[in-house]
Structure 1
Amino acid sequence: MPALRVAILLIALLSQPAFAHGISDVDSGSLWSYDPWLLAPLYAVGIGFYVGTQRLWRHAGGGRGVSFRQVAAFWTGWLVTALATTSPLHWLGEHLFTAHMVEHELLMVVAAPLMAFARINGPLFWCLPASLRPAAGRILNLRVLALPWRFISHPVSATVLHGAALWVWHAPPLYAWALESAAVHRLQHISFFATALLFWWVLLHGRGRDRSSRVRDGIAIGCLFVTTLHSGVLGAVLTVSPRLWIPVQGALAGEFGLSPLEDQQLAGILMWVPMGTLYTGAALFFAYRWLTAVDSHTRLSLVRNVG
């Protein structure tokens, strides 16, 4: 059963020496990754968020400017990102398609929405010295930066970029290249996470004053419907495909009682079902907000008409 095999996979990550060969032949300490190109920005964002939050709360009071819920969401997302890119899951993801899919899903549908909810831009701005904040604000508002940001932060653009990253990196030649080149592999992870972070940020926060929350929620439902549809199609294609897309990706499939093709099929199921379920759950959340906002607006209109 796919669910049982995923459970066995996760348990195996915590007990590598239990295998007769392959994983057990590798020093357990070496299964942790310490790539400075991934860790440096991760630590920089974490330190910046912490410093900015402390300064903001000293200025405005605890929980003001950035809420306790947002802080909890950020550090949960940060920890998930760190574990996905440094733990044995990352090493195993280079040798097992299923593990690679779990890693990418953690980045795109767990860590990214949590960090988007946290609105990290505010605390990161406050982490700068007070003397530099006005200049930083002016730089960010320069036309050369504002126009591209306005384009990519449109819901349609964000949805297309997120979808393009998902489909392009699962093209067999690019996927195989990412497994062969550390630099390309870094780019793959960064593009998955960055486009997902943009996608969720736009859905959760949008353009603020440009639209009412009801309109933003309605747009979010449409974007999530499209994303659920195309990611489900990609997962289904991986699942039902009779041939291997990236043969080298399933090098350790046999250690988990899988053939390389079964490993690919299980990875496809993970994209198709759990990932689609999370996108659908998010769409239902936005639908609930949209419906309750419409209901509140209707009641308010009725009260005004009666009055």
Structure 2
Amino acid sequence: MQVAKRRMTALMILVVATLSLTWFAVRAHAHVAAGHTVLTDWHWRWDVISVLVVFGALYTRGWVRLGKMGGEAKVCQLVFYALALGAIGCALLSPIDELASYLLIAHMVQHELLMMLAPPLILLANPVPILLWGLGGSPRLQAGNLLARHSVIRSARDFLGRMPIAWSLYVVNLWAWHYPAFYEAALRNEWIHDVEHILFFLTALFFWWPVIRPVSRPAPIQDGVRILYLFLAATQDALLSGLIALSTSILYPHYETALRLWDLTPREDQIGGGIVMFAVGSTTYLIAILFLVNALLGEGRRKRSIKRAQTQGAENVEGRV
């Protein structure tokens, strides 16, 4: 388990590094008009800040309580959760949010933060029990009852977390929002844009659930099945990013009329956006697959070692007889 956590940590570091390199590459080509502060403006949306503060405080309180009780409250979990909230804040509050109105590349970086970084980090932090312990006595009992086995919420979570359902919702949502008409609507209307981001985050959360498995399940999912699950996701991601990058026409007219703050033409921007989606998404899927392949091979080696030990033990018994 510890090895798996270290591997997932390495994965998250790589994703952060990829996004950071993309961001610095964009900044390196920036030629912002005099007096424009798009690269430094943070947007203090109090709805976003309130959610981050409340869930951050609940998690921290629950983590401290569990630690005092001798429960499972690991430092790495607290770090994962803090990084997840930081990724959400960076996507929705930092200059990236403003740049997304001018640059498809920045918009893709924003989406990758909400789908490829924040959700798996949150699941690695084992949020459900720790958040419950962050509540007071009576609210904790009430919330626990809502999440109890056979409850409506628990049944809905289990249903949405099934691989075929989670994969389908994630992929359909991803492709739907990149359909030009819906993408343009999100750029024109802030409410629609917020719904888009919420759906990206929630469907990604359910998508990563069966891969990371933050809670034990009665029937563990085999590594081979999870590998196929991720491979199919990587395939559709590569197809979508390729369609965006290789399209001979501008898919999203908004960026043709947006203020040009960069040396990039709309066509170059669209190519860059497709490359960001492919680089971050495919890299994340590929490394997760490699980790699972390694785990699968390790399990095979372990079974062979046990079988050899049993065979050797049987031979020793026969020899003594």
What SS class does the counterpart of residue 66 from structure 1 fall into?
coil
Determine the structure 1 residue equivalent to 2:198: 190
Aligned to 2:135: 128
Q: Is the 8 A contact 2:146 2:152 kept in 1?
A: no
Of 150, 156, 179, which residue of structure 1 is paired with 2:164? 156
Q: CA deviation at 1:67?
A: 1.6
Q: Deviations over 1:35-58 (max 9, x none)?
A: 233222222211111111011111
State the SS of the aligned residue for 1:210.
coil
Counterpart of 1:167 in structure 2 is 175
Secondary structure (helix, strand or coil) at the match of 1:131 reads helix
Give the match for residue 76 of structure 2: 69
Provide the C-alpha distance between the structure 2 equivalents of 1:260 and 1:4, rounded to a whole number of angstroms. Answer: 21
SS of the aligned residue for 1:255 comes to: coil
Kept in 1, the 8 Å contact 2:42–2:95? The answer is: yes
Cα shift at 1:252: 5.0
19, 33, 46: which is aligned to 1:20?
A: 33
Q: What is the 5 A alignment of 1:89-168? A: 89-141=96-148, 142-168=150-176
**Per-residue CA distance 1:239-291 (angstroms, 9 max, x = gap):** 11111111113555743211112111110111123321121111111111121
Equivalent residue number for residue 53 of structure 2: 43
Highest RCO, 1 vs 2 (Cα 8 Å, sep ≥ 6) = 2
| Runs ≥4 residues deviating over 4 A | 3-6, 26-29, 250-253
User: 1:138 and 1:5 mapped to 2: Cα distance?
Assistant: 44
The change in CA–CA distance for 1:199 and 1:143 in structure 2 (over 3 A counts) is same
Distance in 1 between the 2:54 and 2:258 partners?
Answer: 34
Q: C-alpha root-mean-square deviation of aligned residues, in Å? A: 2.3
Query: How does the TM-score come out when normalised to structure 1?
Result: 0.87
* Secondary structure at the counterpart of residue 33 of structure 2: coil
**Of 217, 226, 230, the match for 2:232:** 226
Amino acid at match of 2:27: L
Structure 1 gap ranges (5+): none
Partner of residue 304, structure 1: 310
| TM-score, normalising length: structure 2 | 0.84
1:293 Cα deviation from its structure 2 partner: 1.5
Letter in 1 for 2:24: A
1:154 CA displacement: 0.6
Cα deviation for residue 206 of structure 1 reads 6.6
Pick closer, same or farther for the CA change 1:5–1:198 going to 2, 3 Å: closer
User: Contact 1:253–1:260 at 8 Å: present in 2 too?
Assistant: no
CA–CA distance in 1 between the matches of 2:300 and 2:75?
28
Match of residue 7, structure 1, among 2, 20, 24: 24
Classify 1:68/1:20 alpha carbon distance in 2 versus 1 (closer, same or farther; 3 Å).
same
Q: Based on CA coordinates, which of the two structures has the bigger radius of gyration?
A: 2
